[in-house]
């Protein structure tokens, strides 16, 4: 129908049996989450003692200290807080297992598919009553494409994961050769709210009666990869897995016992090339960048798909969806200066998005350069900016801090998060399309990036 640009293969296997809900995932580390301030040179020691770092940012713009939310075992907490120069700022989550267990016990696994087909729009759609496992996301994506075949096309596979799982996509609206916006979601497995939010946006783009949404869908091709890390996401649901798993499920390299590569350090954009701490060569670090640029099949699939779309469309930009901390982050990830040529326009769009988001439920999202948070190299935002030459963001969704649950955001916040980010997304698309038409910003043209992995 609409997709002359791609020749992709794959199949969809769906079923109605949902996974059982484990009391808690047996590989999920225990302990609590503490917020602390450290001299930056203590970061390696923090990572060695703690299970992982949930939030990192420079202290008040300083490049000498970091404010961290650290998931740490109860027995290791004293050693963590005794590091030279460390300052405890507070306890955020007393016990992670208790939080996960409570949410898991509330999960029913029920979904009224017929109601989802019948109800118009996402707000009352029962799909968003709770978080959904990978196979149910895939199933609904197929249903939505079938129900809206005049404006949507399901892409069964843009490529496969390490474990051979297909990575799905959906294409909505627009026309071949016209403007396009690329979205990818869920590349960090534990960030469940990103999968749900991207599905919320997809439903609204397909079904919202809002005249502005309908106009945008007529004019712009919206491309979504709702789950760029299916292996990691499945592992975050598995009874034997870890709810807090971040990376893909790459097997350990020689000499290591640690699985996984951080996909957001594996993109072919300044890979392993930036300030200290922008990624890690250690296979056991949560920011392990992998063996080489785009070494991971998931990264390759997303890169090649984004490039392929750009070869037959005029990109307006792209968004890489993450959680948490309620931020709207602009490129570059690896350096503060110089900024991209379109940074002033991008900053203005980000401010408008933040205002639109706050107008819905009063949630404040901060628009800032990515490097104001911490340096990242080999990241998606820089690759997507390079590929689209458009208005590109990393979105960090609810909550604002680990105090709100961190990666374990309550399912009651799925719909409010979707509502506010739909407002922000409509503002983004409207402003960027309008600016492109009136010459407020000028992309370099259809992507001429070519790679073959």
Looking at residue 105, its pLDDT comes to: 93
Question: Which pLDDT tens digit goes with each residue over 102-145?
Answer: 999 999 999 999 999 999 999 999 999 999 999 999 999 999 99
Question: Which pLDDT tens digit goes with each residue over 269-311?
Answer: 999 998 888 999 999 989 999 999 999 999 999 999 999 999 9
Residues 199 and 336 in one domain: yes
> Is residue 45 one of the residues assigned to a domain?
yes
Tell me if 411 sits within 8 A of 336, measured CB to CB: no
| For range 317-337, the mean pLDDT | 95
Residues 186 and 318 in one domain: yes
| For range 42-47, the mean pLDDT | 90
Give the chain's length.
Answer: 453
| Residue 175 is a catalytic residue | no
Residues 40 and 184 in one domain: no
Does the pLDDT of residue 448 top 50, yes or no? Answer: no
Calculate what percentage of the chain has a pLDDT beyond 70: 92
> Is residue 23 one of the residues assigned to a domain?
no
Q: Is 31 left (phi over 0), alpha (psi -120 to 50) or beta?
A: left
Question: Which pLDDT tens digit goes with each residue over 145-169?
Answer: 999 999 999 999 999 999 999 999 9
- How many other C-beta atoms lie within 10 A of the C-beta of residue 14? 12
| For range 308-324, the mean pLDDT | 97
Does the pLDDT of residue 445 top 60, yes or no? Answer: no
Residues 69 and 165 in one domain: no
Q: Alpha carbon 271 to chain centroid distance?
A: 19
Question: Which pLDDT tens digit goes with each residue over 414-432?
Answer: 999 999 999 999 999 999 9
Last residue of a domain, one of 94, 119, 135: 94
Structure tokens at 366: 């901060």
Looking at residue 444, its pLDDT comes to: 54
CA–CA dist 243, 407 (Å, integer):
9
Q: Where are the beta strands (DSSP E) in 143-241?
A: 152-155, 169-172, 179-185, 221-225
How far from 221 is each of 151, 218, 316, 385, 433, CA to CA, in Å? 10, 8, 10, 18, 11
Does the pLDDT of residue 453 top 80, yes or no? Answer: no
**DSSP type of residue 60:** G
Cα radius of gyration rounded to whole Å, the chain: 21
Looking at residue 2, its pLDDT comes to: 53
How far from 52 is each of 44, 283, 432, CA to CA, in Å? 11, 14, 37
CA–CA dist 147, 159 (Å, integer):
24
How many folded domains does the chain comprise? 2
The catalytic residue among 130, 135, 296, 396 is 396
What's phi and psi for 75, nearest 5 deg?
-75, -20
What's phi and psi for 247, nearest 5 deg?
-85, -175
CA–CA dist 197, 187 (Å, integer):
14
Does the pLDDT of residue 62 top 90, yes or no? Answer: no
Residues 400 and 425 in one domain: yes
Residues 149 and 74 in one domain: no
> Is residue 130 one of the residues assigned to a domain?
yes
Residues 189 and 83 in one domain: no
Residues 308 and 328 in one domain: yes
> Is residue 14 one of the residues assigned to a domain?
no
Q: State the number of CA atoms in the 13 A half-sphere of 131 facing the CB.
A: 29
Looking at residue 25, its pLDDT comes to: 57
Looking at residue 61, its pLDDT comes to: 73
**DSSP type of residue 235:** H
pLDDT-derived band of residue 5, with 50, 70 and 90 as boundaries?
very low
CATH number of the domain at 70, please. Answer: 3.30.70
Residues 170 and 303 in one domain: yes
> Is residue 447 one of the residues assigned to a domain?
no
Does the pLDDT of residue 12 top 60, yes or no? Answer: no
> Is residue 247 one of the residues assigned to a domain?
no
Domain, as residue range, for 49: 32-94
Structure tokens at 184: 């990818």
> Is residue 243 one of the residues assigned to a domain?
no
Residues 45 and 123 in one domain: no
| For range 358-369, the mean pLDDT | 97
Q: Which residue has the tokens 């870890």?
A: 242
Last residue of a domain, one of 49, 72, 94: 94
Question: Which of 15-24, 212-221, 421-430 bottoms out in mean pLDDT, i.e. has the lowest?
Answer: 15-24
User: Taken in order 324, 329, 334, 335, is the CA torsion positive or negative?
Assistant: negative
The pTM score is: 0.92
pLDDT-derived band of residue 440, with 50, 70 and 90 as boundaries?
confident
Residues 111 and 76 in one domain: no
> Is residue 26 one of the residues assigned to a domain?
no
Question: Which of 4-8, 293-297, 387-391, 395-399 bottoms out in mean pLDDT, i.e. has the lowest?
Answer: 4-8
Residues 76 and 176 in one domain: no
CATH number of the domain at 408, please. Answer: 3.40.630.10
């Amino acid at each position: 129908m609409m997709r002359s640009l791609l020749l992709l293969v794959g199949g969809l296997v769906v079923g109605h049996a949902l996974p059982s809900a484990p009391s808690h995932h047996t590989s999920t580390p225990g302990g609590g989450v503490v917020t602390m301030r450290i001299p930056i040179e203590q970061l390696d020691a923090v990572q060695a003692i703690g299970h992982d770092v949930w939030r990192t940012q420079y202290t008040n713009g300083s490049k000498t200290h970091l404010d961290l939310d650290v998931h740490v075992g109860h027995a290791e907490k004293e050693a963590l807080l005794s590091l030279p120069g460390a300052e405890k700022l507070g306890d955020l989550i007393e016990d992670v297992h208790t939080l996960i267990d409570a949410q898991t016990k509330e999960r029913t696994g029920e979904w009224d598919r017929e109601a989802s087909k019948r109800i118009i729009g996402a707000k009352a759609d029962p799909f968003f009553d709770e978080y959904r496992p990978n196979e149910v996301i895939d199933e609904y994506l197929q249903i939505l494409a079938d129900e809206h075949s005049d404006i949507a096309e399901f892409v069964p596979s843009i490529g496969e994961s390490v474990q051979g799982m297909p990575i799905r996509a959906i294409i909505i609206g627009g026309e071949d050769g016209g403007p396009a916006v690329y979205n990818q979601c869920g590349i960090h497995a534990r960030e469940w709210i990103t999968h749900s939010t991207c599905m919320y946006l997809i439903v609204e783009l397909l079904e919202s009666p809002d005249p502005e949404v309908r106009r945008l869908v007529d004019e712009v091709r919206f491309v979504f990869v709702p789950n760029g890390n299916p292996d990691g996401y499945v592992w975050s649901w598995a009874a034997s897995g870890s709810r807090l798993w971040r990376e893909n499920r790459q097997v350990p390299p020689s000499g290591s016992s640690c699985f996984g590569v951080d996909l957001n350090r594996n993109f072919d954009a300044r890979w392993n090339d930036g300030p200290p701490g922008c990624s890690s060569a250690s296979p056991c670090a949560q920011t392990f960048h992998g063996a080489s640029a785009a070494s991971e099949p998931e990264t390759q699939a997303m890169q090649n798909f984004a490039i392929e779309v750009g070869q037959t469309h005029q990109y307006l930009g792209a968004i890489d969806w993450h959680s948490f901390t309620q931020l709207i982050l602009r490129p570059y990830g690896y350096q503060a200066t110089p900024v991209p040529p379109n940074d002033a326009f991008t900053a203005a769009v980000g401010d408008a998005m933040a205002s639109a988001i706050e107008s819905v439920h009063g949630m404040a999202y901060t628009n800032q350069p990515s490097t104001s948070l911490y340096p990242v190299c080999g990241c998606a935002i820089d690759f997507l900016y390079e590929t689209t030459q458009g208005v590109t963001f990393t979105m960090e969704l609810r909550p604002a801090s680990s105090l709100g649950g961190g990666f374990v955001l309550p399912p009651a916040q799925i719909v409010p998060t979707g509502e506010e980010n739909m407002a922000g997304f409509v503002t983004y698309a409207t402003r960027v399309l309008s600016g492109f038409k009136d010459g407020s910003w000028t992309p370099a043209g259809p992507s001429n990036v070519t790679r073959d992995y």
